Every structure is written in structure tokens, then in C-alpha cells.
Amino acid sequence: MCLSIPGKIMEIYNDGSLLMGKVDFGGVLKEVCLDYVPEAKTGQYVLIHVGFAISVLDEEEAQETLGILREMASLDEELNPNEVR
């Protein structure tokens, strides 16, 4: 199973020949490669898989996906209340 997570582009820059960006995942900034989505702009949401942006999302779609991920985390906590996190 593959998982990709939406994040918001906060900064775009070149690192040698790679288009890179700092992406916000709910307050956590990570460096990601934007080469696969050169049309992406600061402030837009992108779908990230293993450090690479693979598509640009509109904000509504990104928020919907983030909501589903939050629900999944809540469900996991309900089903496994004694698990150490």
C-alpha cells in the first residue's frame, strides 16, 4: 500500500538542477522535490509521496484528504486505546 500526504508549499527554490520546496504538513516543515510538478506555486497544496510532490491539489481536495487522515488516526486510537504511541 502506498500513502501520499497533502502539504502546503511555503517556499520554492533550486538546489543545483532540482526544483525543491519547503512544504508544511500541519506545522511540520519538510524539504521535498518539486521536479515532477514544475507548475506548482507557493501557497498551493501538493500530494507528497516519499519526498516527491506527485501532483498539485486544490485546497478543498487537500483539506478533505487531511480530514480523512485525521479520522483514520482517531479511529486507530479508539480501536487500540492501550497501544503506546
pLDDT digits (tens, 9 = 90+) for 23-58: 999 899 999 999 999 999 999 999 999 999 999 999
* Phi, psi of 6, deg, nearest 5: -75, 145
Residue 52 has what DSSP assignment? E
Q: Look up the domain containing 46 and give its range.
A: 5-79
Does 37 reside within a domain? yes
Does 85 reside within a domain? no
Prediction pTM value:
0.80
Helix ranges, the chain (H):
59-79
pLDDT digits (tens, 9 = 90+) for 49-79: 999 999 999 999 998 988 888 888 787 677 7
Query: Residue 21 belongs to a domain with what CATH number?
Result: 2.30.30.140
Does 50 reside within a domain? yes
Does 42 reside within a domain? yes
Number of domains in the chain: 1
Does 33 reside within a domain? yes
Does 43 reside within a domain? yes
